[in-house]
Structure 1
Amino acid sequence: MTRKATPSNGLSLRFEADEPEPNNKFQLNRKQRRSLGHLIVTTPETERPITLFCAGLTVVGRGRNTVLQALRSGLFELVQSGKEDAGVVMLLSVTSRQKGQYNIPSTSFPQYREVSISVLTETTHVLWKEVLRPDYTYGLRLSEKAGEVFACYTDELEGGAEDLSSAQKLPVHREDGGTYYFTVYDDPAPPKLFARLEMPSKAYLNGPDPFTLVIEYTTDSDEPFVFDKSRSPLSVTNLCTGFNLHCIDQLIDCRDNDTREKVEWGAVFVCYDYDPHPIFPDDDDFVEISAGKPWRFECTLEQLGNEMEYVRSMEGLKAGRTYKARVHGPPRFSRWQYGRKEDLLAGTREEKMEMWEVDMEKLGYLDVKRIEEGVYFENIA
């Protein structure tokens, strides 16, 4: 094969840092999948696709510790903000033969092609806790020289990166780019919520037996706390006014066990010209829970013989089929605090509202984790 020369203006790589959102803290004890910016690859190639190789950067599969891998390989570097003489914060270096790679198609347009690769991290990884100090601000940037980066024409790639000759490797110029600054916090992690689905093994579509699904919520917290379930599917009370459950798939993901086809539930959607919720949630929309006191949400599906298509109808299920169901939502609750319900909801509405003006940035949000693989049930006519 006749070797084509390196693209006339060469490939280039730069880091475009995201602008941190206000109050978006880098929490060491709370799982946050953070986007810190993007690697931008620029190429003028108009005829042949190019494959980029980056030491330590997982660009295929989007690994959860992408930034840490890039730091340990030298591709990225970390500096303590405001301390120019402090130099680069050192991490234990790791050299791996395995390099992340990304394929860049050619373009028929005369302008340069830019490809954006997300730079992600998980803030609770143990290495962050070993390197970062709470209340300090750090800057993340692309290294000037460290960390191997090169490219090659994709049609010349027969094996891995280690099989390429020096003549086949296309150099990649690094542009001056941005720096992502973040401040580190070690606020305690919120308690965990776990959701488990319970259902009868048989669903009678027209029979007298009710079909009730139960989602049991448990926690790892020995100290009781109260969370607000209003404005979520779990606040459903009745069909007439103010309900939030528009469809059963807001609660469960239900699929035919053989075809994997998702159940299309019968549903009623209501359009309001106003917000039907009260200024402050009713007491019933607050749930007290602790390790020794789980909470069970129940929802009974109506039979098919109703005159109306109720929001909780069994329409969508087919007789003789077996289905697999899993908890679907909600994934988190945005308002909670430690204490007992009788204390946190004491007094007038104004006093309750004042009691619940809590700093959620300080407390963190309650994430819900499913603790079952799936529940199976058979439909009977």
Structure 2
Amino acid sequence: MTSIDTPSNGLSLRFEAEELDTNDKFQLNRKQRRDLGHLIITTSETERPITLFCNGLTVVGRGRNTVLQALRSGLFELVQSGKEDAGVIVLPSFTSPKKGQYNILSTSFPQYREVSISVLTETTHVLWREVLQPGRTYGLRLAEKAGEVFACYTDGLEGGAEVSPSAQKLPVHREGGGTYYFTVHDDPAPPKLFARLEMPSKAYLNGPDPFTLIIEYTTDSDEPFVFDKSRSPLSVTTLCTGANLHCIDQLIDCRDNDTGEKVEWGAVFVCYDYDPHPVFPDDGDYVEISANRPWRFECTLEELGNEKEYVRSMEGLKADRTYKAQVGGPSGFRRWQYGKKGDLLAGTREEKMKRWEVDMERLGYLDVEKIEEDLYFETVA
């Protein structure tokens, strides 16, 4: 329902904060794309679109706002939880000569229209480290008055974007909204994985020569660790039809070098009405890796004329073409821990499951960084 304070010819703003999960940690050393809540814009205008202007409103893509700009401009404010006399925590101010803007269409409903903009942040930004202290809890909220905010009818703007001195500025009311509370952690960043693609320079579509893709994974960690590759394109499940790969284009991004057209691979994971993966992954789905022990994943595509074309087939490639390829995925792994594979997978299945019940929020997400340039190969009939 619309607020009773929403101006009849203007806009109303409020911040709807996300509910904080007790296991959801604000990690200064982890690249976390955090959704902190939503900035809700309400209008009752039924005939003309309105454009909202304010410093700190940086819309990324469609309907997303970066919270640091909003804090530095005064649109949002940060307070330390539990300290009534602490006041607002001041960040280095920033006012852009070109104000952020967002267009709100008129509503066909007799009461109101609401537009939601996600409020996002990257937790490793240098400004967070300058302002936040690990172990403390902070609150983020919409400022009552600070930060310049106004609106204009969109059809009255010069060139559709610029605000002229004669433009009618509409009121923007700020509603009392929610506060997003978060506790800061500085657990160490997880190790990194680096992926590099290798492949032959020629692919024989009907010849005897195999075409083998190799993705070599390396890491910056001197200490060995083990990650779980199950439920990813790197997991090959042996079923009644043989060793099937989920889908080739989950491994590599492959495109025609002349047209840019993406290859539609014929090799797909057979459709099932049930989950073929075990409750706990097989030992073969765990990989041990360290700085001096890389891991190489291999996948050989078969010629077009094989009897099982759905199994790692080269269907999708055309003869006498040049293709460009790079690593396509996965982007990371959510389950891993330090140690040797023999130790971490010793004992019964129940003992393994208990050993792998670890706090992944504390360990962090294992990202994969692609380090190779595009590779090219030619197809031969």
TM-score (norm 1): 0.91
Q: For 1:263-310, what per-residue CA distance to the aligned partner results, in whole angstroms no more than 9, with x for missing partners?
A: 111134434455433443333222111112211100000111112223
Identify if the C-alpha distance between structure 1 residues 242 and 80 changes in structure 2 by more than 3 Å, giving closer, same or farther: farther
Identify if the C-alpha distance between structure 1 residues 340 and 110 changes in structure 2 by more than 3 Å, giving closer, same or farther: same
Q: Which amino acid aligns with 1:75?
A: L
Q: Which amino acid aligns with 1:54?
A: C
Q: Which moved more, 1:12-21 or 1:241-250?
A: 241-250
Aligned residue pairs: how many?
Answer: 376
Partner in structure 2 of residue 182 of structure 1? 182
Partner in structure 1 of residue 3 of structure 2? none
Give yes or no for contact 2:265–2:313 (8 Å, CA) kept in 1. Answer: yes
Identify if the C-alpha distance between structure 1 residues 204 and 153 changes in structure 2 by more than 3 Å, giving closer, same or farther: same
CA apart distance, 1:345? 2.5
Distance in 1, matches of 2:137 and 2:166, equals: 40
CA apart distance, 1:350? 3.6
Partner in structure 2 of residue 173 of structure 1? 173
Partner in structure 1 of residue 297 of structure 2? 297
Q: For 1:132-159, what per-residue CA distance to the aligned partner results, in whole angstroms no more than 9, with x for missing partners?
A: 1111111100101000001111122216
Distance in 1, matches of 2:40 and 2:70, equals: 15
Runs ≥4 residues deviating over 6 A: 62-65
CA apart distance, 1:191? 0.5
Q: Secondary structure at the match of 1:362?
A: helix
Q: For 1:30-69, what per-residue CA distance to the aligned partner results, in whole angstroms no more than 9, with x for missing partners?
A: 1111111111111122222211111122025479981111
Distance in 2, matches of 1:120 and 1:287, equals: 34
Give yes or no for contact 1:75–1:142 (8 Å, CA) kept in 2. Answer: yes
CA apart distance, 1:112? 1.2
Q: Secondary structure at the match of 2:39?
A: strand
Distance in 1, matches of 2:209 and 2:271, equals: 32
CA apart distance, 1:21? 3.2
Identify if the C-alpha distance between structure 1 residues 102 and 273 changes in structure 2 by more than 3 Å, giving closer, same or farther: closer
Q: Secondary structure at the match of 1:233?
A: coil
Identify if the C-alpha distance between structure 1 residues 106 and 279 changes in structure 2 by more than 3 Å, giving closer, same or farther: closer
Distance in 2, matches of 1:242 and 1:83, equals: 63
Distance in 2, matches of 1:99 and 1:353, equals: 53
Distance in 2, matches of 1:244 and 1:305, equals: 17
Cα RMSD after superposing both structures: 2.4
Distance in 1, matches of 2:352 and 2:90, equals: 49
Q: Which moved more, 1:189-198 or 1:59-68?
A: 59-68
State how 1:122-141 maps to structure 2 within 5 Å. Answer: 122-141=122-141
Give yes or no for contact 1:54–1:99 (8 Å, CA) kept in 2. Answer: yes
Give yes or no for contact 1:157–1:164 (8 Å, CA) kept in 2. Answer: yes
Partner in structure 1 of residue 115 of structure 2? 115
Q: Which runs of 5+ in 2 are unaligned?
A: 1-5
Partner in structure 2 of residue 72 of structure 1? 72
Give yes or no for contact 1:53–1:102 (8 Å, CA) kept in 2. Answer: yes
Give yes or no for contact 1:64–1:121 (8 Å, CA) kept in 2. Answer: no
Identify if the C-alpha distance between structure 1 residues 76 and 11 changes in structure 2 by more than 3 Å, giving closer, same or farther: same
Q: Which amino acid aligns with 2:49?
A: P
Tell whether 2:335 aligns with 1:323. no
Partner in structure 2 of residue 193 of structure 1? 193
Distance in 1, matches of 2:120 and 2:244, equals: 34
State how 1:274-289 maps to structure 2 within 5 Å. Answer: 274-289=274-289
Partner in structure 1 of residue 252 of structure 2? 252
Q: Which runs of 5+ in 1 are unaligned?
A: 1-5
Partner in structure 1 of residue 32 of structure 2? 32
Q: For 1:166-214, what per-residue CA distance to the aligned partner results, in whole angstroms no more than 9, with x for missing partners?
A: 6522221111111111111111111111111111111100011100001
Identify if the C-alpha distance between structure 1 residues 244 and 28 changes in structure 2 by more than 3 Å, giving closer, same or farther: farther
Q: Percent identity?
A: 85
Partner in structure 2 of residue 366 of structure 1? 366
Partner in structure 2 of residue 58 of structure 1? 58
Partner in structure 2 of residue 353 of structure 1? 353
Give yes or no for contact 1:235–1:244 (8 Å, CA) kept in 2. Answer: no
CA apart distance, 1:320? 1.3
CA apart distance, 1:225? 0.9
CA apart distance, 1:7? 6.8
Q: Which moved more, 1:44-53 or 1:7-16?
A: 7-16
Identify if the C-alpha distance between structure 1 residues 268 and 159 changes in structure 2 by more than 3 Å, giving closer, same or farther: closer
Q: Secondary structure at the match of 2:98?
A: coil
Tell whether 2:139 aligns with 1:149. no
Q: For 1:315-337, what per-residue CA distance to the aligned partner results, in whole angstroms no more than 9, with x for missing partners?
A: 11110121122212222212111
Partner in structure 1 of residue 333 of structure 2? 333
Tell whether 2:202 aligns with 1:202. yes
Partner in structure 2 of residue 218 of structure 1? 218
Q: Which amino acid aligns with 1:155?
A: D
Q: Which moved more, 1:266-275 or 1:315-324?
A: 266-275
Give yes or no for contact 1:241–1:276 (8 Å, CA) kept in 2. Answer: no
